[in-house]
Protein backbone atom coordinates (compact mmCIF):
# COMPACT_ATOMS: atom_id res chain seq x y z
CA UNK A 1 0.00 0.00 0.00
CA UNK A 2 2.88 2.34 0.75
CA UNK A 3 4.37 1.52 -2.64
CA UNK A 4 1.09 2.32 -4.39
CA UNK A 5 0.94 5.68 -2.64
CA UNK A 6 4.51 6.51 -3.61
CA UNK A 7 3.73 5.60 -7.22
CA UNK A 8 0.85 8.10 -7.19
CA UNK A 9 3.16 10.86 -6.02
CA UNK A 10 6.16 10.04 -8.20
CA UNK A 11 4.31 9.30 -11.46
CA UNK A 12 1.52 11.81 -10.80
CA UNK A 13 -0.91 9.26 -12.15
CA UNK A 14 -3.14 6.51 -10.81
CA UNK A 15 -1.50 3.07 -10.53
CA UNK A 16 -3.56 0.10 -11.82
CA UNK A 17 -5.39 -0.52 -8.54
CA UNK A 18 -6.64 3.11 -8.50
CA UNK A 19 -7.29 3.45 -12.22
CA UNK A 20 -10.72 4.18 -13.69
CA UNK A 21 -10.91 7.86 -12.78
CA UNK A 22 -12.35 9.78 -15.72
CA UNK A 23 -9.97 12.26 -17.36
CA UNK A 24 -12.55 15.03 -17.16
CA UNK A 25 -13.37 14.49 -13.50
CA UNK A 26 -13.35 17.82 -11.61
CA UNK A 27 -10.56 18.03 -9.05
CA UNK A 28 -8.95 14.93 -10.52
CA UNK A 29 -5.61 15.96 -9.04
CA UNK A 30 -7.22 16.14 -5.59
CA UNK A 31 -8.48 12.57 -6.00
CA UNK A 32 -4.97 11.50 -7.03
CA UNK A 33 -3.37 12.93 -3.88
CA UNK A 34 -6.20 11.49 -1.77
CA UNK A 35 -5.36 8.06 -3.20
CA UNK A 36 -1.73 8.56 -2.30
CA UNK A 37 -2.61 9.68 1.23
CA UNK A 38 -4.97 6.75 1.86
CA UNK A 39 -2.50 4.24 0.42
CA UNK A 40 0.45 5.44 2.47
CA UNK A 41 -1.54 6.00 5.68
CA UNK A 42 -3.25 2.61 5.58
CA UNK A 43 0.01 0.92 4.60
CA UNK A 44 1.77 2.37 7.63
CA UNK A 45 -1.26 1.54 9.78
CA UNK A 46 -1.19 -2.10 8.70
CA UNK A 47 2.43 -2.37 9.82
CA UNK A 48 1.63 -1.22 13.37
CA UNK A 49 -0.29 -3.76 15.44
CA UNK A 50 -2.26 -1.15 17.41
CA UNK A 51 -3.65 0.44 14.25
CA UNK A 52 -4.04 -2.62 12.00
CA UNK A 53 -7.81 -2.94 12.47
CA UNK A 54 -8.42 0.78 11.98
CA UNK A 55 -6.24 0.85 8.86
CA UNK A 56 -8.01 -2.21 7.46
CA UNK A 57 -11.42 -0.62 8.11
CA UNK A 58 -10.46 2.61 6.36
CA UNK A 59 -8.99 0.66 3.45
CA UNK A 60 -12.10 -1.53 3.16
CA UNK A 61 -14.45 1.47 3.09
CA UNK A 62 -12.24 3.22 0.55
CA UNK A 63 -11.97 0.17 -1.72
CA UNK A 64 -15.71 -0.52 -1.64
CA UNK A 65 -16.36 3.15 -2.43
CA UNK A 66 -13.91 2.96 -5.34
CA UNK A 67 -15.66 -0.17 -6.60
CA UNK A 68 -19.08 1.50 -6.51
CA UNK A 69 -18.08 4.97 -7.77
CA UNK A 70 -15.53 4.10 -10.47
CA UNK A 71 -15.20 0.39 -11.21
CA UNK A 72 -18.75 -0.92 -11.55
CA UNK A 73 -20.13 2.07 -13.54
CA UNK A 74 -17.22 1.83 -15.96
CA UNK A 75 -17.70 -1.93 -16.38
CA UNK A 76 -21.40 -1.50 -17.18
CA UNK A 77 -20.69 1.45 -19.45
CA UNK A 78 -18.24 -0.71 -21.44
CA UNK A 79 -19.44 -4.28 -20.82
CA UNK A 80 -17.60 -5.77 -23.80
CA UNK A 81 -14.22 -4.37 -22.71
CA UNK A 82 -12.73 -7.10 -20.54
CA UNK A 83 -10.18 -4.74 -18.99
CA UNK A 84 -12.96 -2.94 -17.11
CA UNK A 85 -13.99 -6.22 -15.47
CA UNK A 86 -10.35 -7.06 -14.76
CA UNK A 87 -10.05 -3.75 -12.92
CA UNK A 88 -13.15 -4.67 -10.90
CA UNK A 89 -11.33 -7.89 -10.03
CA UNK A 90 -8.30 -5.96 -8.77
CA UNK A 91 -10.42 -3.90 -6.40
CA UNK A 92 -12.53 -6.88 -5.29
CA UNK A 93 -9.44 -8.93 -4.37
CA UNK A 94 -7.97 -6.07 -2.36
CA UNK A 95 -11.32 -5.39 -0.66
CA UNK A 96 -11.58 -9.05 0.32
CA UNK A 97 -8.23 -8.93 2.09
CA UNK A 98 -9.05 -5.63 3.82
CA UNK A 99 -12.36 -7.10 5.02
CA UNK A 100 -10.63 -10.17 6.49
CA UNK A 101 -8.02 -8.04 8.25
CA UNK A 102 -10.75 -5.81 9.67
CA UNK A 103 -13.23 -8.41 10.94
CA UNK A 104 -13.91 -12.13 11.06
CA UNK A 105 -17.65 -11.57 10.56
CA UNK A 106 -19.40 -12.42 7.29
CA UNK A 107 -16.31 -14.18 6.00
CA UNK A 108 -18.27 -15.88 3.24
CA UNK A 109 -19.06 -12.50 1.72
CA UNK A 110 -15.44 -11.38 2.03
CA UNK A 111 -14.23 -14.55 0.34
CA UNK A 112 -16.90 -14.21 -2.34
CA UNK A 113 -15.33 -10.89 -3.31
CA UNK A 114 -12.05 -12.74 -3.80
CA UNK A 115 -13.63 -15.55 -5.80
CA UNK A 116 -15.46 -13.11 -8.06
CA UNK A 117 -12.28 -11.09 -8.49
CA UNK A 118 -10.36 -14.12 -9.80
CA UNK A 119 -12.81 -14.82 -12.63
CA UNK A 120 -11.95 -11.76 -14.79
CA UNK A 121 -8.25 -12.44 -14.13
CA UNK A 122 -8.64 -15.81 -15.81
CA UNK A 123 -10.83 -14.52 -18.63
CA UNK A 124 -8.27 -11.80 -19.37
CA UNK A 125 -5.64 -14.47 -20.03
CA UNK A 126 -7.76 -15.69 -22.94
CA UNK A 127 -8.98 -12.31 -24.20
CA UNK A 128 -5.46 -10.83 -24.13
CA UNK A 129 -3.77 -14.10 -25.05
CA UNK A 130 -0.85 -12.52 -26.92
CA UNK A 131 0.02 -10.25 -23.97
CA UNK A 132 -0.18 -13.22 -21.61
CA UNK A 133 2.09 -15.31 -23.84
CA UNK A 134 4.58 -12.43 -24.08
CA UNK A 135 4.72 -12.21 -20.26
CA UNK A 136 5.74 -15.86 -19.86
CA UNK A 137 9.49 -15.96 -19.02
CA UNK A 138 11.59 -16.74 -22.06
CA UNK A 139 13.33 -19.68 -20.38
CA UNK A 140 10.04 -21.54 -19.87
CA UNK A 141 8.87 -23.83 -22.71
CA UNK A 142 5.30 -23.98 -24.07
CA UNK A 143 4.39 -20.32 -23.60
CA UNK A 144 0.92 -20.76 -25.11
CA UNK A 145 0.17 -23.73 -22.87
CA UNK A 146 1.15 -21.75 -19.76
CA UNK A 147 -1.12 -18.88 -20.81
CA UNK A 148 -4.10 -21.25 -21.21
CA UNK A 149 -3.28 -23.12 -18.02
CA UNK A 150 -2.98 -20.04 -15.79
CA UNK A 151 -6.15 -18.54 -17.23
CA UNK A 152 -8.09 -21.73 -16.59
CA UNK A 153 -6.53 -22.00 -13.10
CA UNK A 154 -7.76 -18.54 -12.11
CA UNK A 155 -11.29 -19.34 -13.28
CA UNK A 156 -11.27 -22.74 -11.54
CA UNK A 157 -9.99 -21.17 -8.30
CA UNK A 158 -12.66 -18.48 -8.40
CA UNK A 159 -15.43 -21.03 -8.93
CA UNK A 160 -14.06 -23.28 -6.18
CA UNK A 161 -14.04 -20.41 -3.67
CA UNK A 162 -17.55 -19.31 -4.65
CA UNK A 163 -18.89 -22.87 -4.37
CA UNK A 164 -17.00 -23.72 -1.18
CA UNK A 165 -15.54 -26.89 -2.70
CA UNK A 166 -11.77 -27.15 -2.31
CA UNK A 167 -11.88 -23.47 -1.36
CA UNK A 168 -8.85 -23.60 0.92
CA UNK A 169 -6.77 -25.36 -1.74
CA UNK A 170 -7.97 -22.92 -4.41
CA UNK A 171 -7.09 -19.89 -2.26
CA UNK A 172 -3.65 -21.27 -1.44
CA UNK A 173 -2.82 -22.17 -5.05
CA UNK A 174 -4.11 -18.86 -6.44
CA UNK A 175 -1.95 -16.99 -3.92
CA UNK A 176 1.04 -19.10 -4.96
CA UNK A 177 0.34 -18.40 -8.63
CA UNK A 178 0.21 -14.64 -8.05
CA UNK A 179 3.44 -14.82 -6.07
CA UNK A 180 5.11 -16.70 -8.93
CA UNK A 181 3.88 -14.08 -11.42
CA UNK A 182 5.47 -11.37 -9.29
CA UNK A 183 8.70 -13.31 -8.87
CA UNK A 184 9.14 -14.73 -12.38
CA UNK A 185 7.60 -11.99 -14.54
CA UNK A 186 8.10 -8.66 -12.78
CA UNK A 187 11.23 -9.07 -10.64
CA UNK A 188 13.42 -9.83 -13.71
CA UNK A 189 11.97 -6.72 -15.39
CA UNK A 190 13.07 -4.62 -12.41
CA UNK A 191 16.60 -5.98 -12.78
CA UNK A 192 16.80 -4.97 -16.46
CA UNK A 193 15.48 -1.44 -15.92
CA UNK A 194 11.72 -1.02 -15.77
CA UNK A 195 9.57 1.66 -17.34
CA UNK A 196 7.07 3.63 -15.27
CA UNK A 197 4.33 1.25 -16.45
CA UNK A 198 6.36 -1.81 -15.43
CA UNK A 199 7.04 -0.34 -11.98
CA UNK A 200 3.30 0.15 -11.54
CA UNK A 201 2.56 -3.41 -12.67
CA UNK A 202 5.15 -4.81 -10.28
CA UNK A 203 3.73 -2.97 -7.26
CA UNK A 204 0.19 -3.90 -8.30
CA UNK A 205 1.15 -7.57 -8.62
CA UNK A 206 2.91 -7.42 -5.25
CA UNK A 207 -0.20 -5.90 -3.62
CA UNK A 208 -2.51 -8.53 -5.13
CA UNK A 209 -0.16 -11.29 -3.96
CA UNK A 210 -0.30 -9.94 -0.41
CA UNK A 211 -4.10 -9.75 -0.59
CA UNK A 212 -4.31 -13.32 -1.88
CA UNK A 213 -2.05 -14.45 0.97
CA UNK A 214 -4.40 -12.86 3.53
CA UNK A 215 -7.40 -14.64 1.99
CA UNK A 216 -5.58 -17.99 1.85
CA UNK A 217 -4.57 -17.64 5.50
CA UNK A 218 -8.20 -17.06 6.51
CA UNK A 219 -8.90 -20.72 5.62
CA UNK A 220 -6.25 -22.02 8.00
CA UNK A 221 -8.72 -23.63 10.43
CA UNK A 222 -10.74 -25.30 7.66
CA UNK A 223 -10.26 -28.62 5.91
CA UNK A 224 -8.63 -28.59 2.49
CA UNK A 225 -11.92 -29.90 1.11
CA UNK A 226 -15.29 -28.81 2.49
CA UNK A 227 -16.46 -31.87 4.43
CA UNK A 228 -19.69 -33.57 3.50
CA UNK A 229 -22.29 -34.12 6.21
CA UNK A 230 -21.84 -37.44 7.92
CA UNK A 231 -24.72 -39.92 7.41
CA UNK A 232 -25.92 -39.42 11.01
CA UNK A 233 -25.85 -35.65 10.57
CA UNK A 234 -27.98 -35.98 7.45
CA UNK A 235 -30.49 -38.15 9.30
CA UNK A 236 -30.65 -35.68 12.19
CA UNK A 237 -31.24 -32.76 9.84
CA UNK A 238 -34.19 -34.58 8.28
Average pLDDT along the chain, 238 residues, taken 10 residues at a time: 91 82 82 92 94 96 92 87 88 96 91 96 91 86 93 96 92 95 89 84 92 94 58 40
Domain boundaries, position 99: 2-229
Decide if 13 contacts 32 (C-beta within 8 A).
Answer: yes
Q: What is the mean pLDDT of the chain?
A: 88
pLDDT at position 233: 42
Say what the pTM is: 0.87
Decide if 2 contacts 44 (C-beta within 8 A).
Answer: yes
In a domain, 236, yes or no: no
In a domain, 79, yes or no: yes
Number of folded domains that form the chain: 1
In a domain, 81, yes or no: yes
How many CB atoms within 10 Å of residue 181? 18
Residues 6+ apart with CB under 8 A from 222: 167, 168
In a domain, 92, yes or no: yes
How many CB atoms within 10 Å of residue 110? 23
pLDDT at position 13: 85
pLDDT at position 68: 92
Decide if 113 contacts 119 (C-beta within 8 A).
Answer: no
Buried b / exposed e across 48-61, counting CB within 10 Å, b at 16+?
eeeeeeebbbbbbe
H or E stretch at 126: helix 107-127
Amino acid sequence: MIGLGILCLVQRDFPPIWSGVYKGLPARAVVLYLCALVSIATGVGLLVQRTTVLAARVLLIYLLAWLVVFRIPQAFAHPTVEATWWECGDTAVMASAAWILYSDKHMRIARAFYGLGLLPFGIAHFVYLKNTVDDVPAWLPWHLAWAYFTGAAFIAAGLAILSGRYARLAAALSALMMALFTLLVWVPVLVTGPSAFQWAEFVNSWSLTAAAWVVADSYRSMAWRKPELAPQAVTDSL
